[in-house]
Structure 1
Amino acid sequence: MPVPVPVTIEALAERAGELAAMGERRILGLVGAPGAGKSFLAERLAQVLGPDLAVVVPMDGFHLAQEVLVALGREGRKGAADTFDAEGYVALLRRLRAPRARGGQDVDPSLAGVVLAPLFRRDLEEPVGSAVPVRPDVPLVITEGNYLLRGDGAWRDVAGLLDEVWFVAPPEDLRRARLVARHESFGRSPREARERSLGSDELNARQIAATAGAADHVWRLV
């Protein structure tokens, strides 16, 4: 893991604004282990820039549905790289890189050129399709997830579709504490939350940390 550089959200928002001002669609990737604060940072950046400049498209929308995980025998490893539709995520990024207005009499004018991305509902523990509209005139897409820098399977195509990738690396004790609290907030008992955080989540976190060297920047929010 490269040494994280301390940085403020304000400084990162300024850089994200520069990406948004480059004249054509840019995609910024935020990657990090579970509990790193990727979702928080993505939403704050989008909030600072505003909806005309930025939209958040989470990788988590490509979680395999619980029914599929059960059929594959992977429900106990939910969150691992092979519990996502990586090819679907890559296909979406390719669409987002080259937004084109689409018209025709069979197209709702309000959706012309809009790309509809999926979203993961933590309260349901399921993905929901077509939940995030991305208008063709929005210049910056912020996508966040665990495996943006993974180098095998369909994941290897992700980094080449991103203009910049930032690895979010808080102190490990803080990251784990956030993760336990998140699991508890969605109904797990303290024991279940800790077992999940220090079990399958920790195995995934180690794999994700090993990809940090491929990021353009490794940040620690201050």
Structure 2
Amino acid sequence: MSDTPAYGLWSLVIINSVVFIVFAASFIKLETKQDWRSLGAFSAFIVALFTEMYGFPLTIYLLSGWLGREFPGVDFWSHDAGHLLETMFGWRLEPHFGPFHLASNILIIAGFWLLASSWHVLYAAQRDHRLATIGPYARVRHPQYDAFVVIMFGFLLQWPTLVTLAMFPVLVWIYVRLAKREEEASRVEFGTAWDAYARAVPRFIPRLGRGTKAAGSHRGGTVRD
């Protein structure tokens, strides 16, 4: 691992945070409070992540005593050692090619793909004033929230910190609450069409091997998800 410290780089904190937040926002039509809240929760996670990745490694500072005892000879103030899962599970070579980092990349890419495809379908449904029931919406009712969770979990595998680990379940809870609020509004506005869709399609976790043809037949449903 490199012995060169890689912290205090606040310009990289700002640049990386802006890039990922703007990239995520480019898939979202920010019109409602729920849209802004979902992006805001994700943005808070991203800023906390890159603050420790390039700014100040709070987790390594707080755990430095334990890390030093358990993993002697590792320079935890080098950037490579900040990939804690790779270090703790013995991947001491190039952490960017370690199993956790590779899994992280797959999840992050998959999450952004799901986010893009979900909002594309939702935008078309909003424009036509109908249910979003094709693509990811044929499998789950809130694929965009699934996407945010998958992306955040991918980043946790790549660079786990105490702050982001604490934030993760709170943000998942926020997304669950936002989803339920959207469903309540949709039920009031669209009635039985929404109820039929909700019966056919699970909220977050898809039913493997089962299609949702019944959901796709409704035309008068929510323009939210």
TM-score range, shorter chain: under 0.3
TM-score w.r.t. the length of structure 1 is 0.26
Which structure has more helix as a fraction of its residues?
2
Greater RCO (Cα-Cα under 8 Å, separation 6 or more) = 1
Which of the two has greater strand per residue? Answer: 1
What is the TM-score of this pair, normalised by structure 2? 0.26
Larger Rg: 2
